[in-house]
Chain A
Amino acid sequence: MQYLVSVITDTTDLATPDEDAAIDVFNDRLRAEGYWVFAGGLGGPDTATVIDNRGAEGLFSDGPFVESKEFLIGFWIIEAPDLDVALKLAAEGSKACNRKVEVRPFL
Protein backbone atom coordinates (compact mmCIF):
# COMPACT_ATOMS: atom_id res chain seq x y z
CA MET A 1 0.00 0.00 0.00
CA GLN A 2 1.02 3.60 -0.43
CA TYR A 3 0.62 6.16 2.31
CA LEU A 4 0.82 9.93 2.32
CA VAL A 5 2.71 11.21 5.35
CA SER A 6 1.82 14.89 5.62
CA VAL A 7 4.01 17.20 7.63
CA ILE A 8 1.88 19.59 9.71
CA THR A 9 3.13 22.79 11.24
CA ASP A 10 2.00 26.21 12.40
CA THR A 11 5.01 28.29 11.34
CA THR A 12 6.60 28.83 7.93
CA ASP A 13 10.07 28.70 9.51
CA LEU A 14 12.44 26.64 7.39
CA ALA A 15 13.96 23.47 8.76
CA THR A 16 17.08 24.06 10.86
CA PRO A 17 20.39 22.54 9.70
CA ASP A 18 19.99 19.81 12.34
CA GLU A 19 16.49 19.01 11.10
CA ASP A 20 17.71 18.97 7.50
CA ALA A 21 20.48 16.56 8.38
CA ALA A 22 18.06 14.27 10.24
CA ILE A 23 15.63 14.34 7.30
CA ASP A 24 18.45 13.35 4.94
CA VAL A 25 19.35 10.39 7.11
CA PHE A 26 15.72 9.34 7.26
CA ASN A 27 15.26 9.71 3.47
CA ASP A 28 18.36 7.60 2.82
CA ARG A 29 16.94 4.92 5.03
CA LEU A 30 13.57 5.00 3.23
CA ARG A 31 15.41 4.53 -0.07
CA ALA A 32 17.73 1.82 1.22
CA GLU A 33 14.86 -0.20 2.69
CA GLY A 34 12.51 0.18 -0.24
CA TYR A 35 9.85 2.38 1.36
CA TRP A 36 10.63 5.52 -0.64
CA VAL A 37 8.22 6.74 -3.32
CA PHE A 38 8.53 10.50 -3.24
CA ALA A 39 8.94 13.41 -0.83
CA GLY A 40 9.06 17.15 -0.87
CA GLY A 41 8.78 20.36 1.11
CA LEU A 42 6.22 23.01 0.27
CA GLY A 43 5.95 26.78 0.43
CA GLY A 44 3.68 28.17 3.14
CA PRO A 45 -0.05 28.90 2.76
CA ASP A 46 0.83 32.50 1.80
CA THR A 47 2.24 31.11 -1.46
CA ALA A 48 -0.95 29.18 -2.34
CA THR A 49 -3.40 29.94 -5.14
CA VAL A 50 -6.75 28.20 -5.42
CA ILE A 51 -8.15 27.52 -8.89
CA ASP A 52 -11.79 26.68 -9.57
CA ASN A 53 -12.42 25.89 -13.20
CA ARG A 54 -15.67 23.97 -12.75
CA GLY A 55 -17.73 26.82 -14.16
CA ALA A 56 -17.65 28.69 -17.43
CA GLU A 57 -14.68 30.73 -16.41
CA GLY A 58 -11.63 29.72 -14.38
CA LEU A 59 -11.42 31.50 -11.03
CA PHE A 60 -8.10 32.14 -9.37
CA SER A 61 -7.93 33.25 -5.79
CA ASP A 62 -5.03 34.06 -3.53
CA GLY A 63 -4.50 31.91 -0.45
CA PRO A 64 -5.11 28.34 0.70
CA PHE A 65 -8.52 26.63 0.28
CA VAL A 66 -8.95 26.58 4.01
CA GLU A 67 -7.49 29.04 6.49
CA SER A 68 -6.29 27.31 9.61
CA LYS A 69 -3.72 27.66 12.30
CA GLU A 70 -1.94 24.50 11.17
CA PHE A 71 -1.15 23.62 7.58
CA LEU A 72 0.70 21.24 5.27
CA ILE A 73 4.36 22.13 4.81
CA GLY A 74 5.74 18.95 3.22
CA PHE A 75 5.09 15.26 2.69
CA TRP A 76 6.43 11.81 2.07
CA ILE A 77 4.78 9.17 -0.03
CA ILE A 78 5.86 5.77 1.21
CA GLU A 79 5.23 2.21 0.16
CA ALA A 80 4.50 0.01 3.18
CA PRO A 81 2.84 -3.39 3.63
CA ASP A 82 0.41 -2.14 6.29
CA LEU A 83 -0.45 0.68 8.66
CA ASP A 84 1.76 -0.60 11.46
CA VAL A 85 4.84 -0.25 9.26
CA ALA A 86 3.63 3.12 7.95
CA LEU A 87 3.05 4.44 11.47
CA LYS A 88 6.47 3.36 12.60
CA LEU A 89 8.12 5.11 9.67
CA ALA A 90 5.91 8.18 10.17
CA ALA A 91 6.96 8.35 13.81
CA GLU A 92 10.59 8.39 12.73
CA GLY A 93 9.78 10.99 10.10
CA SER A 94 8.13 13.18 12.72
CA LYS A 95 11.22 12.93 14.89
CA ALA A 96 13.54 13.69 11.96
CA CYS A 97 11.72 16.80 10.71
CA ASN A 98 10.74 17.78 14.27
CA ARG A 99 7.12 18.34 13.27
CA LYS A 100 3.76 16.65 13.59
CA VAL A 101 2.77 14.30 10.76
CA GLU A 102 -0.47 12.73 9.56
CA VAL A 103 -0.71 9.35 7.82
CA ARG A 104 -3.37 8.58 5.23
CA PRO A 105 -3.72 5.64 2.87
CA PHE A 106 -3.99 6.06 -0.88
CA LEU A 107 -7.14 4.33 -2.11
Chain B
Amino acid sequence: MNVPGDGVDVREEITRAHRDEWARVVGALTRRFGGLDIAEEAAAEAFATAVERWPADGVPPNPGAWLTTTANRKAIDRLRRENKRGDKQEEAQLLYDDGPSEPLGAIEDERLRLIFICCHPALAMETRVALTLRMVAGLTVAEIARAFLVRETAMGQRITRAKGKIKAAGIPYRVPSADDLPTRVSGVLAVLYLVFNEGYLATGPDVDPVRHDLTAEAIRLTRLTRVLMPDDGEAAGLLALMLLIEARRAARVSPSGELIALDEQDRGSWDAALIAEGHQLVRERLAAGVAPGRYQILAAINAVHTSAREAGDTDWSQVVALYDQLVRLDASPIVVLNRAIAVAELDGPEVALAAVDRLGDELGDYHAYHATRGELLRRLGYGQKSRTAYDKAIELAGNSAEIAHLTRRRDQL
Protein backbone atom coordinates (compact mmCIF):
# COMPACT_ATOMS: atom_id res chain seq x y z
CA MET B 1 0.00 0.00 0.00
CA ASN B 2 1.13 3.50 -0.71
CA VAL B 3 1.63 5.86 2.18
CA PRO B 4 -1.56 7.84 2.72
CA GLY B 5 -1.35 11.56 2.14
CA ASP B 6 1.10 11.44 -0.72
CA GLY B 7 -1.28 13.42 -2.95
CA VAL B 8 0.63 13.55 -6.21
CA ASP B 9 1.38 9.83 -6.29
CA VAL B 10 -2.20 8.93 -5.49
CA ARG B 11 -3.51 11.19 -8.24
CA GLU B 12 -1.12 9.57 -10.68
CA GLU B 13 -2.20 6.13 -9.52
CA ILE B 14 -5.84 7.06 -10.05
CA THR B 15 -5.11 8.40 -13.52
CA ARG B 16 -3.20 5.24 -14.35
CA ALA B 17 -5.93 3.00 -12.94
CA HIS B 18 -8.49 4.90 -14.98
CA ARG B 19 -6.46 4.48 -18.15
CA ASP B 20 -5.68 0.80 -17.57
CA GLU B 21 -8.79 -0.47 -15.84
CA TRP B 22 -11.79 1.56 -17.03
CA ALA B 23 -12.63 -0.59 -20.05
CA ARG B 24 -12.06 -3.82 -18.11
CA VAL B 25 -14.41 -2.70 -15.34
CA VAL B 26 -17.09 -1.52 -17.79
CA GLY B 27 -16.67 -4.73 -19.79
CA ALA B 28 -16.96 -7.05 -16.80
CA LEU B 29 -20.04 -5.24 -15.51
CA THR B 30 -21.71 -5.13 -18.90
CA ARG B 31 -21.48 -8.90 -19.05
CA ARG B 32 -22.62 -9.49 -15.50
CA PHE B 33 -25.50 -7.03 -15.45
CA GLY B 34 -26.42 -7.25 -19.10
CA GLY B 35 -26.35 -3.57 -19.99
CA LEU B 36 -23.92 -0.82 -20.88
CA ASP B 37 -25.94 1.73 -18.99
CA ILE B 38 -25.57 0.29 -15.53
CA ALA B 39 -21.98 -0.74 -16.23
CA GLU B 40 -21.00 2.78 -17.23
CA GLU B 41 -22.70 4.39 -14.24
CA ALA B 42 -21.35 1.92 -11.72
CA ALA B 43 -17.82 2.20 -13.14
CA ALA B 44 -17.99 5.99 -12.91
CA GLU B 45 -19.18 5.72 -9.31
CA ALA B 46 -16.37 3.31 -8.45
CA PHE B 47 -13.76 5.71 -9.82
CA ALA B 48 -15.37 8.59 -7.94
CA THR B 49 -15.11 6.50 -4.77
CA ALA B 50 -11.44 5.85 -5.50
CA VAL B 51 -10.83 9.59 -5.86
CA GLU B 52 -12.51 10.06 -2.49
CA ARG B 53 -10.91 7.18 -0.60
CA TRP B 54 -7.48 6.43 -1.98
CA PRO B 55 -5.82 9.67 -0.80
CA ALA B 56 -6.80 8.81 2.79
CA ASP B 57 -6.73 4.99 2.73
CA GLY B 58 -3.86 4.54 0.31
CA VAL B 59 -3.93 2.87 -3.10
CA PRO B 60 -5.08 -0.76 -2.82
CA PRO B 61 -2.53 -3.40 -3.83
CA ASN B 62 -4.65 -4.47 -6.79
CA PRO B 63 -6.43 -1.34 -8.03
CA GLY B 64 -8.23 -3.20 -10.84
CA ALA B 65 -9.77 -5.78 -8.51
CA TRP B 66 -10.72 -3.08 -6.00
CA LEU B 67 -12.43 -1.04 -8.74
CA THR B 68 -14.29 -4.04 -10.13
CA THR B 69 -15.51 -5.09 -6.69
CA THR B 70 -16.56 -1.55 -5.83
CA ALA B 71 -18.32 -1.10 -9.17
CA ASN B 72 -20.12 -4.43 -8.72
CA ARG B 73 -21.35 -3.27 -5.33
CA LYS B 74 -22.50 0.06 -6.78
CA ALA B 75 -24.37 -1.71 -9.55
CA ILE B 76 -26.10 -4.02 -7.08
CA ASP B 77 -27.04 -1.04 -4.87
CA ARG B 78 -28.51 0.64 -7.88
CA LEU B 79 -30.48 -2.42 -8.93
CA ARG B 80 -31.81 -2.79 -5.39
CA ARG B 81 -32.96 0.80 -5.36
CA GLU B 82 -34.65 0.35 -8.72
CA ASN B 83 -36.10 -3.00 -7.75
CA LYS B 84 -38.35 -1.59 -5.04
CA ARG B 85 -41.04 -4.13 -5.68
CA GLY B 86 -38.52 -6.51 -4.25
CA ASP B 87 -38.12 -9.46 -6.52
CA LYS B 88 -36.08 -11.38 -3.95
CA GLN B 89 -35.30 -14.24 -6.22
CA GLU B 90 -33.90 -12.04 -8.94
CA GLU B 91 -31.94 -10.09 -6.40
CA ALA B 92 -30.45 -13.19 -4.86
CA GLN B 93 -29.39 -14.35 -8.27
CA LEU B 94 -27.62 -11.08 -8.96
CA LEU B 95 -25.84 -11.21 -5.65
CA TYR B 96 -24.63 -14.76 -5.62
CA ASP B 97 -24.63 -15.96 -9.17
CA ASP B 98 -21.96 -14.78 -11.50
CA GLY B 99 -23.94 -16.23 -14.34
CA PRO B 100 -23.27 -19.39 -16.26
CA SER B 101 -19.79 -19.39 -17.68
CA GLU B 102 -20.48 -18.73 -21.32
CA PRO B 103 -18.44 -20.62 -23.84
CA LEU B 104 -15.74 -18.24 -24.97
CA GLY B 105 -14.44 -17.81 -28.47
CA ALA B 106 -10.81 -17.66 -29.46
CA ILE B 107 -10.65 -14.16 -28.10
CA GLU B 108 -12.21 -13.62 -24.75
CA ASP B 109 -11.13 -10.32 -23.28
CA GLU B 110 -14.13 -8.33 -22.07
CA ARG B 111 -12.63 -5.21 -23.57
CA LEU B 112 -12.82 -6.73 -27.00
CA ARG B 113 -16.54 -7.39 -26.65
CA LEU B 114 -16.87 -3.81 -25.53
CA ILE B 115 -15.03 -2.51 -28.60
CA PHE B 116 -17.19 -4.61 -30.92
CA ILE B 117 -20.47 -3.52 -29.37
CA CYS B 118 -19.45 0.16 -29.49
CA CYS B 119 -18.37 -0.14 -33.15
CA HIS B 120 -21.41 -2.13 -34.26
CA PRO B 121 -22.39 -1.47 -37.89
CA ALA B 122 -26.04 -0.90 -36.87
CA LEU B 123 -24.93 2.33 -35.18
CA ALA B 124 -24.15 5.55 -37.04
CA MET B 125 -20.44 6.27 -37.48
CA GLU B 126 -20.43 9.34 -35.23
CA THR B 127 -22.25 7.31 -32.59
CA ARG B 128 -19.68 4.53 -32.79
CA VAL B 129 -16.92 7.08 -32.26
CA ALA B 130 -18.68 8.64 -29.26
CA LEU B 131 -19.53 5.29 -27.65
CA THR B 132 -16.00 3.97 -28.12
CA LEU B 133 -14.48 7.05 -26.53
CA ARG B 134 -16.91 6.83 -23.61
CA MET B 135 -17.05 3.10 -22.92
CA VAL B 136 -13.60 1.92 -23.99
CA ALA B 137 -11.39 4.98 -23.59
CA GLY B 138 -13.29 6.28 -20.55
CA LEU B 139 -13.51 9.89 -21.71
CA THR B 140 -16.30 11.86 -20.07
CA VAL B 141 -19.28 13.00 -22.10
CA ALA B 142 -18.05 16.58 -21.66
CA GLU B 143 -14.62 15.68 -23.06
CA ILE B 144 -16.10 13.91 -26.08
CA ALA B 145 -18.49 16.81 -26.71
CA ARG B 146 -15.56 19.20 -26.64
CA ALA B 147 -13.54 17.03 -29.00
CA PHE B 148 -16.29 17.03 -31.60
CA LEU B 149 -17.50 20.59 -31.05
CA VAL B 150 -21.02 19.69 -30.05
CA ARG B 151 -22.90 20.65 -26.92
CA GLU B 152 -22.56 18.32 -23.97
CA THR B 153 -26.33 17.74 -23.80
CA ALA B 154 -26.37 16.76 -27.48
CA MET B 155 -23.47 14.35 -26.99
CA GLY B 156 -25.14 12.91 -23.90
CA GLN B 157 -28.32 12.30 -25.87
CA ARG B 158 -26.40 10.67 -28.70
CA ILE B 159 -24.81 8.21 -26.27
CA THR B 160 -28.09 7.58 -24.45
CA ARG B 161 -29.89 6.90 -27.73
CA ALA B 162 -27.15 4.50 -28.76
CA LYS B 163 -27.43 2.55 -25.51
CA GLY B 164 -31.20 2.48 -26.01
CA LYS B 165 -30.84 1.02 -29.49
CA ILE B 166 -28.29 -1.56 -28.36
CA LYS B 167 -30.72 -2.78 -25.75
CA ALA B 168 -33.97 -2.62 -27.74
CA ALA B 169 -32.59 -4.00 -31.00
CA GLY B 170 -30.68 -6.79 -29.28
CA ILE B 171 -27.15 -5.90 -30.38
CA PRO B 172 -25.20 -8.76 -28.77
CA TYR B 173 -22.35 -8.37 -26.33
CA ARG B 174 -19.88 -10.73 -27.90
CA VAL B 175 -17.01 -11.09 -30.26
CA PRO B 176 -18.38 -11.67 -33.78
CA SER B 177 -18.26 -15.14 -35.30
CA ALA B 178 -15.21 -16.05 -37.32
CA ASP B 179 -16.83 -15.43 -40.71
CA ASP B 180 -18.02 -11.96 -39.66
CA LEU B 181 -14.77 -11.06 -37.95
CA PRO B 182 -12.81 -9.53 -40.87
CA THR B 183 -15.52 -6.99 -41.77
CA ARG B 184 -16.28 -6.22 -38.15
CA VAL B 185 -12.59 -5.67 -37.38
CA SER B 186 -12.24 -3.32 -40.31
CA GLY B 187 -15.26 -1.44 -38.94
CA VAL B 188 -13.49 -1.07 -35.59
CA LEU B 189 -10.29 0.12 -37.26
CA ALA B 190 -12.27 2.67 -39.30
CA VAL B 191 -13.61 4.15 -36.05
CA LEU B 192 -10.11 4.37 -34.57
CA TYR B 193 -8.69 5.92 -37.75
CA LEU B 194 -11.47 8.49 -37.77
CA VAL B 195 -10.66 9.50 -34.18
CA PHE B 196 -7.00 9.78 -35.14
CA ASN B 197 -7.69 11.85 -38.24
CA GLU B 198 -9.96 14.20 -36.37
CA GLY B 199 -7.04 14.83 -34.02
CA TYR B 200 -4.47 14.97 -36.77
CA LEU B 201 -6.29 17.36 -39.05
CA ALA B 202 -8.75 19.04 -36.74
CA THR B 203 -11.29 21.20 -38.48
CA GLY B 204 -12.69 24.52 -37.35
CA PRO B 205 -11.44 28.07 -37.16
CA ASP B 206 -10.83 28.19 -33.40
CA VAL B 207 -9.54 24.68 -32.94
CA ASP B 208 -5.90 23.72 -32.42
CA PRO B 209 -4.64 22.42 -35.77
CA VAL B 210 -3.42 19.22 -34.15
CA ARG B 211 -5.51 17.78 -31.33
CA HIS B 212 -2.98 15.71 -29.49
CA ASP B 213 -5.61 14.48 -27.04
CA LEU B 214 -7.45 12.73 -29.86
CA THR B 215 -4.40 11.32 -31.65
CA ALA B 216 -3.08 9.99 -28.32
CA GLU B 217 -6.44 8.42 -27.50
CA ALA B 218 -6.65 6.82 -30.95
CA ILE B 219 -3.15 5.38 -30.58
CA ARG B 220 -3.96 4.03 -27.13
CA LEU B 221 -7.13 2.35 -28.40
CA THR B 222 -5.33 0.93 -31.43
CA ARG B 223 -2.57 -0.45 -29.21
CA LEU B 224 -5.25 -2.13 -27.14
CA THR B 225 -6.95 -3.52 -30.25
CA ARG B 226 -3.64 -4.88 -31.44
CA VAL B 227 -2.95 -6.53 -28.09
CA LEU B 228 -6.41 -8.09 -28.16
CA MET B 229 -6.11 -9.23 -31.78
CA PRO B 230 -2.40 -9.96 -32.23
CA ASP B 231 -2.98 -11.92 -35.43
CA ASP B 232 -4.74 -9.13 -37.27
CA GLY B 233 -2.32 -7.57 -39.75
CA GLU B 234 -4.46 -4.51 -40.32
CA ALA B 235 -4.59 -3.66 -36.60
CA ALA B 236 -0.79 -3.73 -36.60
CA GLY B 237 -0.75 -1.73 -39.83
CA LEU B 238 -3.04 0.93 -38.45
CA LEU B 239 -0.97 1.23 -35.29
CA ALA B 240 2.22 1.59 -37.37
CA LEU B 241 0.54 4.19 -39.58
CA MET B 242 -0.58 6.25 -36.59
CA LEU B 243 2.84 6.04 -34.90
CA LEU B 244 4.67 7.14 -38.04
CA ILE B 245 2.34 10.11 -38.50
CA GLU B 246 2.37 10.99 -34.80
CA ALA B 247 6.20 10.88 -34.86
CA ARG B 248 6.20 13.95 -37.13
CA ARG B 249 3.78 15.93 -34.98
CA ALA B 250 6.28 18.45 -33.59
CA ALA B 251 7.63 19.16 -37.07
CA ARG B 252 4.27 19.47 -38.78
CA VAL B 253 3.12 22.83 -37.49
CA SER B 254 5.34 25.92 -37.20
CA PRO B 255 5.37 28.08 -34.03
CA SER B 256 3.17 30.56 -35.90
CA GLY B 257 0.60 27.82 -36.53
CA GLU B 258 1.32 27.04 -40.14
CA LEU B 259 1.32 23.54 -41.57
CA ILE B 260 4.77 22.50 -42.75
CA ALA B 261 4.84 20.15 -45.72
CA LEU B 262 6.79 16.91 -45.44
CA ASP B 263 9.64 18.13 -47.64
CA GLU B 264 10.14 21.24 -45.50
CA GLN B 265 9.99 19.61 -42.09
CA ASP B 266 12.91 19.56 -39.67
CA ARG B 267 13.50 15.82 -39.66
CA GLY B 268 15.67 16.14 -36.56
CA SER B 269 12.58 16.93 -34.53
CA TRP B 270 10.77 13.76 -35.52
CA ASP B 271 10.24 11.34 -32.64
CA ALA B 272 12.85 8.64 -33.20
CA ALA B 273 11.30 6.19 -30.73
CA LEU B 274 7.88 6.30 -32.40
CA ILE B 275 9.51 5.91 -35.82
CA ALA B 276 11.52 2.92 -34.63
CA GLU B 277 8.38 1.29 -33.25
CA GLY B 278 6.44 2.02 -36.44
CA HIS B 279 9.24 0.63 -38.62
CA GLN B 280 9.43 -2.48 -36.48
CA LEU B 281 5.71 -3.12 -36.97
CA VAL B 282 6.01 -2.58 -40.73
CA ARG B 283 8.92 -5.05 -40.87
CA GLU B 284 6.91 -7.59 -38.90
CA ARG B 285 4.04 -7.29 -41.35
CA LEU B 286 6.38 -7.65 -44.33
CA ALA B 287 7.90 -10.73 -42.74
CA ALA B 288 4.43 -12.23 -42.20
CA GLY B 289 4.20 -12.71 -45.96
CA VAL B 290 0.43 -12.10 -46.01
CA ALA B 291 -1.04 -9.78 -48.64
CA PRO B 292 -1.31 -6.41 -46.86
CA GLY B 293 -4.50 -4.41 -46.44
CA ARG B 294 -4.78 -0.67 -46.88
CA TYR B 295 -3.51 0.34 -43.43
CA GLN B 296 -0.42 -1.82 -43.83
CA ILE B 297 0.28 -0.29 -47.23
CA LEU B 298 -0.24 3.25 -45.91
CA ALA B 299 2.08 2.41 -43.01
CA ALA B 300 4.69 1.13 -45.46
CA ILE B 301 4.45 4.39 -47.45
CA ASN B 302 4.99 6.34 -44.25
CA ALA B 303 7.89 4.06 -43.39
CA VAL B 304 9.57 4.97 -46.69
CA HIS B 305 9.13 8.69 -45.93
CA THR B 306 10.44 8.39 -42.39
CA SER B 307 13.44 6.34 -43.55
CA ALA B 308 14.84 9.24 -45.59
CA ARG B 309 17.28 11.48 -43.74
CA GLU B 310 16.56 14.31 -46.14
CA ALA B 311 13.46 14.85 -48.24
CA GLY B 312 15.70 14.49 -51.33
CA ASP B 313 16.68 10.96 -50.27
CA THR B 314 13.09 9.69 -50.45
CA ASP B 315 12.74 6.50 -52.45
CA TRP B 316 9.90 7.73 -54.65
CA SER B 317 9.82 4.67 -56.88
CA GLN B 318 9.08 2.62 -53.77
CA VAL B 319 6.35 5.08 -52.74
CA VAL B 320 4.74 4.93 -56.18
CA ALA B 321 4.94 1.11 -56.19
CA LEU B 322 3.15 1.03 -52.85
CA TYR B 323 0.47 3.41 -54.13
CA ASP B 324 0.02 1.14 -57.14
CA GLN B 325 -0.62 -1.69 -54.70
CA LEU B 326 -3.08 0.50 -52.79
CA VAL B 327 -4.94 1.52 -55.95
CA ARG B 328 -5.49 -2.16 -56.70
CA LEU B 329 -7.25 -2.52 -53.33
CA ASP B 330 -9.01 0.82 -53.31
CA ALA B 331 -9.14 2.88 -56.49
CA SER B 332 -10.89 5.79 -54.77
CA PRO B 333 -10.11 9.23 -56.22
CA ILE B 334 -8.30 10.30 -53.03
CA VAL B 335 -5.90 7.37 -53.30
CA VAL B 336 -5.35 8.19 -56.98
CA LEU B 337 -4.67 11.82 -56.02
CA ASN B 338 -2.07 10.81 -53.46
CA ARG B 339 -0.45 8.49 -55.94
CA ALA B 340 -0.20 11.38 -58.40
CA ILE B 341 1.65 13.47 -55.81
CA ALA B 342 4.27 10.74 -55.60
CA VAL B 343 4.34 10.39 -59.38
CA ALA B 344 5.22 14.09 -59.63
CA GLU B 345 8.46 13.33 -57.79
CA LEU B 346 9.27 10.32 -59.92
CA ASP B 347 8.05 11.24 -63.44
CA GLY B 348 7.68 15.00 -63.16
CA PRO B 349 4.80 17.43 -62.58
CA GLU B 350 3.41 17.22 -66.10
CA VAL B 351 2.58 13.51 -65.88
CA ALA B 352 1.17 14.03 -62.40
CA LEU B 353 -0.99 16.99 -63.45
CA ALA B 354 -2.56 14.95 -66.26
CA ALA B 355 -3.55 12.30 -63.70
CA VAL B 356 -4.84 14.88 -61.21
CA ASP B 357 -6.90 16.73 -63.81
CA ARG B 358 -8.85 13.56 -64.54
CA LEU B 359 -10.17 13.66 -60.93
CA GLY B 360 -11.85 17.06 -61.24
CA ASP B 361 -15.40 15.72 -61.43
CA GLU B 362 -15.08 13.65 -58.30
CA LEU B 363 -12.83 15.82 -56.17
CA GLY B 364 -13.95 19.32 -57.18
CA ASP B 365 -15.03 20.05 -53.60
CA TYR B 366 -11.95 18.63 -51.93
CA HIS B 367 -9.34 21.18 -50.91
CA ALA B 368 -6.40 18.81 -51.37
CA TYR B 369 -7.28 18.35 -55.04
CA HIS B 370 -6.97 22.09 -55.65
CA ALA B 371 -3.88 22.39 -53.44
CA THR B 372 -2.19 19.63 -55.43
CA ARG B 373 -3.09 21.28 -58.71
CA GLY B 374 -1.81 24.62 -57.40
CA GLU B 375 1.51 23.02 -56.50
CA LEU B 376 1.92 21.19 -59.80
CA LEU B 377 0.90 24.23 -61.86
CA ARG B 378 3.41 26.35 -59.92
CA ARG B 379 6.20 23.91 -60.71
CA LEU B 380 5.23 23.98 -64.37
CA GLY B 381 5.38 27.78 -64.39
CA TYR B 382 1.65 28.50 -64.81
CA GLY B 383 1.52 31.28 -62.21
CA GLN B 384 -2.00 32.52 -62.82
CA LYS B 385 -3.61 29.07 -63.00
CA SER B 386 -1.70 28.05 -59.90
CA ARG B 387 -3.00 31.08 -57.99
CA THR B 388 -6.60 30.26 -58.97
CA ALA B 389 -6.15 26.69 -57.75
CA TYR B 390 -4.68 27.85 -54.41
CA ASP B 391 -7.57 30.31 -53.99
CA LYS B 392 -10.03 27.47 -54.39
CA ALA B 393 -8.06 25.25 -51.98
CA ILE B 394 -8.01 27.99 -49.32
CA GLU B 395 -11.73 28.50 -49.73
CA LEU B 396 -12.42 24.79 -49.14
CA ALA B 397 -9.84 23.96 -46.44
CA GLY B 398 -11.09 23.63 -42.84
CA ASN B 399 -7.86 23.28 -40.87
CA SER B 400 -6.34 26.58 -39.73
CA ALA B 401 -2.71 25.44 -40.15
CA GLU B 402 -3.42 24.18 -43.64
CA ILE B 403 -5.05 27.47 -44.61
CA ALA B 404 -1.98 29.36 -43.37
CA HIS B 405 0.28 27.07 -45.38
CA LEU B 406 -1.75 27.38 -48.57
CA THR B 407 -1.96 31.16 -48.19
CA ARG B 408 1.83 31.43 -47.92
CA ARG B 409 2.35 29.20 -50.94
CA ARG B 410 -0.05 31.32 -52.95
CA ASP B 411 1.53 34.58 -51.86
CA GLN B 412 4.97 33.30 -52.88
CA LEU B 413 3.86 33.06 -56.49
- Asked if B171 and A84 sit within 8 Å, CB to CB, the answer is yes
B180 interface residue (CB < 8 Å to A): yes
Assembled-state Cα–Cα distance A84/B179 (Å): 12
* B170 in contact (CB, < 8 A): yes
Give the Cβ gap from A25 to chain B, nearest Cβ, in Å: 20
Partner of B122, one of A1, A81, A87, A107: A87
SS class of chain B's interface: helix, strand, loop or mixed? loop
- Which label, helix, strand, loop or mixed, suits the secondary structure of the A interface? mixed
Of residues 49 through 104 on chain A, the ones whose CB sits less than 8 Å from some CB of chain B are 80-84, 86-88, 103-104
A84 x B168 contact (CB < 8 A): no
Are A82 and B122 within 8 A (Cβ)? no
Q: A105 at interface (Cβ–Cβ under 8 A)?
A: yes
Closest to A84 in B: B172
Residues from chain B with Cβ under 8 Å of A87 in the complex: 121-122
Does any Cβ of A come within 8 Å of B176's Cβ?
A: yes
Chain A residue with Cβ nearest B180: A84
What is the total number of residues of chain B having a CB less than 8 Å from a CB of chain A?
11
The CA of A84 and the CA of B173, in the complex, are separated in Å by: 10
Give the chain B neighbours of A81 by CB distance below 8 A. Answer: 170, 172
Least CB distance, A94 to chain B, in whole angstroms: 14
Interface size on A, residues (CB 8 A): 13
Query: Do residues A105 and B168 form an inter-chain contact, with CB atoms below 8 A?
Result: yes
Chain A CB within 8 A of B169 CB: yes
Which residues on the B side are within 8 Å of A84 (C-beta)? 171-172, 176-177, 180
A residues less than 8 Å from B120 (CB atoms): 83
* Identity of the chain A residue whose Cβ is nearest the Cβ of B171 in the assembled complex: A83
Q: How far is the CA of A82 from the CA of B116 in the complex (A)?
A: 14
Task: Report chain A residues within 8 Å CB of B176.
Answer: 84
Q: How far is the CA of A104 from the CA of B122 in the complex (A)?
A: 11
Closest CB in chain A relative to B251 CB, distance in Å: 44
Nearest residue in B to A87 (C-beta to C-beta)? Answer: B122
Q: Assess whether B122 is in contact with A105, with CB atoms less than 8 Å apart.
A: no
Q: Are B170 and A107 in contact (CB under 8 A)?
A: no
B168 touches A82 (CB 8 A): no
Chain A residue contacts of B180, Cβ below 8 A:
84, 88
Residue in A closest to B167 when the chains form the complex, CB atoms: A105
Interchain CA distance A105-B166 in the complex, whole Å? 11
Give A103 to B171 CA distance when docked, in angstroms: 12
Mark B158-182 against chain A: 1 for CB-CB distance below 8 A, else 0: 0000000000111110001100100
Asked if B168 contacts A86 (CB within 8 A), the reply is: no
A33 nearest CB across to chain B (Å): 15
Are B169 and A105 within 8 A (Cβ)? Answer: yes
Tell me the smallest distance from the CB of A98 to a CB of chain B, in Å. Answer: 22
Residue of B nearest to A2 (CB): B170
Given A84-B180, A87-B122, residue A107 in contact with residue B168 (CB < 8 A): yes
Other A-B contacts than A82-B172, A83-B120, A107-B168, 15 sampled, CB-CB below 8 A, are: A81-B170, A82-B170, A83-B122, A83-B169, A84-B172, A84-B176, A84-B177, A84-B180, A87-B121, A88-B180, A103-B169, A104-B169, A105-B168, A105-B169, A105-B170
A sample of 8 inter-chain contacts (CB < 8 A) reads A80-B170, A82-B171, A82-B172, A83-B122, A83-B171, A84-B177, A88-B180, A105-B170
A residues in contact (CB < 8 Å) with B: 1, 80-84, 86-88, 103-105, 107
Nearest 6 CB-CB pairings of A with B: A82-B172, A82-B170, A83-B170, A83-B171, A1-B170, A105-B169
